[in-house]
Structure 1
């Protein structure tokens, strides 16, 4: 769907007019929208799974767990807490303004723009929409054009189930995104890479629009000798190669103590074989890279000159089918191209370190990651991780699973993003917590009014000091 500047502007004005009507303030309306989203996901499950397979080669089970099931769980959680979260909260009032009543009233921001990502094109499009609707906003959704099959299903099905005067889906390429960014949205939620994140932030600044940037970065894994190597390897392989490594919180590289370096690499290879067999390209449980140009990008990262003597396990790829094998690069150099930017694919560099503190020091010398994974059963090492590693989320003895907990926020820090969502934090992101103070006429304290006498000044100092 090619959308010209005029229709985009018209869509925005329609959403803005609807918001001004206060239609979205109604809690029963919000509940109905969330319920309808759930109906859409269940009714058209097969259609979404097919689209995800077309875009990314996603296995059906993986598509259900990481996209459809994830969203249904999110909707259930939002519905359960909708009325509690939206209820005004009474807070105390100081003596200086008594008699008075003070409350905090959550109110929607207005018309928000959600810019989805291609790697989880259903989840990363609709999860922010769910939070925005719970908070009572109108939403403009721009799915990623890099995953066109899923974008097309969203554009087709969302208007059938949601109130089209409040929710709009616009397909299109970067030109559509650029046009959207010229409009005065009340919040912009972007998921993707850092370079585009800067463009989004610059555009939003023209309207002083707040932004949430869910970016990425190189999420490290630290493996101590004080861990269960076999289970550690299985959890790393699962987190790394789900969605063929195209996950913003996928383990990007491993720092392992030299004492268990060889043992870990052997266990990683064994886990890959156990999960995907000797021919992963024939596995029903292994996905594909989103586009040929991304396969070519990954292939350059494992060219002999890029590896600089590191040993390679896997590395096979097929430009016709967008297949790229689960790959381990052992004894990877810290100066390798693999270590300079987020890999975003199924290549896992492994680097030996003398001890865990050395691994922490290495991580601290780099940009703050979206996630950091530490595998250890040593309490001192774990305390040090909590105290010294700055990252979006610290996950101990597992990878990625923290995403399933709606009671903790998700978001980056520094170069890995700003803002957060999931659960209550998503509601808060798309809400303004408006203070409302109501004073009574039953008593008037005139010490604040001129002319000021020494007694008035003394009383004011007592009240405010």
Structure 2
């Protein structure tokens, strides 16, 4: 966001000295032990839930203002998931924060080993514009649960939601330990000049590379959640009911998820040639029914993203592959749900992440050919497959790599607190959601306690063959022979 736009939102660009003082102040608060207290963490999570419930209507309004989202989509994808996730964290936090006993070897007897989770310190969260509430507060709740002081930098591309967070987080949360910083790329770059104990960035690979390069200065650990071309395999389904359910779920994961502007939205479909005509007709008829009323699909973020997407369709070779849709309204920033059949493999729509309401459909001779196709592409953050073929499912899991694999549904894995969410390879690294959010912002400290009761002299020089033999038994866990050696018996 340009400085003028920041000022219009009631925030001035943050000079380096102001940001530096803020970071120093947060570090003082953290070092005081305030954020480490379990009761403090619980109180902050409860306050987040109050914020979300008290301000529900205002949240619906800002999400509609930024992205044209219907309140139903906003509740399903952001508000409802957030409340559920934070409640889950509250229910389990005491258990997650407890020390875990680890195995201690007999040779160290008497001794105990523990794994103690501790907060990292002062952490920075960059959120993205497409789920501007969820991608801000989900990691924020995890960082707080782990006991950190936190700075949240919302996306300037969702200005209404960013302003909402800046206005309300200080009212509900501890403003000494949790800060919201508004601004554009210049503010983001300035933030990265400071030392953090962890940075989480959600966004494009281009900006992710900049974040990583900046993090080198202080050797700051970074977690990245980036975009990718998430494939969806659609196998032949004998049951008409199964086909319709599959199409319902594909549409929900493509056009009803921020108009396809989501890192886990379906990017393209892979289907057998014989099934492609049936799938296309089902998609057409179901789209007509689902999108019959206004508000069924969010709008494109801004003119820049609209031009990018319209540019895909203005390629004559791609235009020739359109089998449904293609209507564009630049004034309303709307693009009709559009189906492409076998667009050129070297076209931008097939080499770049679509991130919009355009769905390429790629045909293969037999569905098993999708394995080689997927292995030839960068690893996506999510992979989907609609199939009843157990052998194909097994091959997808065993022979391909992705952040997650979901069978017979799509996008819903994001709502599960029990499994990690994150990319792999070019789609990012670092996992969160549920306990994984707690762990992302925690350090597992190894704690080992030994008694003075027994001392084993074979650990020390001068060395001889008997000591080496004893060490062999120690390292091979042959405690029976070790016992005899220590008593002076020889084999």
Pair in the same fold by TM > 0.5: yes
Moved more, 282-291 or 367-376: 282-291
1:150 match: 161
Q: Is the 8 A contact 1:96 1:464 kept in 2?
A: no
Residue 276 (1) aligns with residue 287 (2): no
2:274 match: 259
Partner Cα separation in structure 2 for residue 44 and residue 427 of structure 1: 25
Secondary structure at 2:274 match in 1: helix
Partner Cα separation in structure 1 for residue 72 and residue 159 of structure 2: 21
1:235 match: 249
How many angstroms does 1:330 deviate by?
2.2
Q: Is the 8 A contact 2:313 2:319 kept in 1?
A: no
Q: 1:42 to 1:119 in 2, by over 3 A?
A: same
Residue 41 (1) aligns with residue 55 (2): no
Residue 224 (1) aligns with residue 235 (2): yes
Q: How does 1:91-240 map to 2 (within 5 A)?
A: 91-226=102-237, 228-240=242-254
Partner Cα separation in structure 1 for residue 67 and residue 471 of structure 2: 67
Q: Is the 8 A contact 1:106 1:431 kept in 2?
A: yes
Partner Cα separation in structure 2 for residue 239 and residue 173 of structure 1: 29
Partner Cα separation in structure 2 for residue 438 and residue 25 of structure 1: 23
How many angstroms does 1:95 deviate by?
2.4
Larger-Rg structure? 2
Moved more, 439-448 or 252-261: 439-448
1:409 match: 420
Q: Is the 8 A contact 1:306 1:337 kept in 2?
A: no
2:486 match: none
Cα root mean square deviation, aligned: 1.4
Secondary structure at 2:255 match in 1: helix
Partner Cα separation in structure 1 for residue 72 and residue 231 of structure 2: 27
How many angstroms does 1:274 deviate by?
1.1
Secondary structure at 2:142 match in 1: helix
Q: Is the 8 A contact 2:69 2:295 kept in 1?
A: no
Q: Is the 8 A contact 2:36 2:147 kept in 1?
A: yes
How many angstroms does 1:53 deviate by?
0.5
Aligned equivalent of 1:420, options 427, 431, 447:
431
Partner Cα separation in structure 2 for residue 254 and residue 449 of structure 1: 64
Aligned equivalent of 1:310, options 321, 328, 351:
321
1:244 match: 259
Partner Cα separation in structure 1 for residue 271 and residue 468 of structure 2: 67
How many angstroms does 1:335 deviate by?
2.3
Give per-residue Cα distances to partners, 1:146-187, cap 9 Å, x unaligned. Answer: 000000000000000111111100000000000011111000
1:86 match: 97
Give per-residue Cα distances to partners, 1:48-86, cap 9 Å, x unaligned. Answer: 111101100010111111111111011011001000001
Q: Is the 8 A contact 1:314 1:327 kept in 2?
A: yes
How many angstroms does 1:328 deviate by?
1.1
Q: Mark the runs of 5 or more structure 1 residues left unpaired by the alignment.
A: none
Partner Cα separation in structure 2 for residue 259 and residue 456 of structure 1: 72
Secondary structure at 1:320 match in 2: coil
Q: Mark the runs of 5 or more structure 2 residues left unpaired by the alignment.
A: 1-10, 477-491
2:5 match: none
1:348 match: 359
Secondary structure at 1:302 match in 2: helix
How many angstroms does 1:304 deviate by?
4.5
Partner Cα separation in structure 1 for residue 317 and residue 41 of structure 2: 52
Aligned equivalent of 2:445, options 398, 423, 434:
434
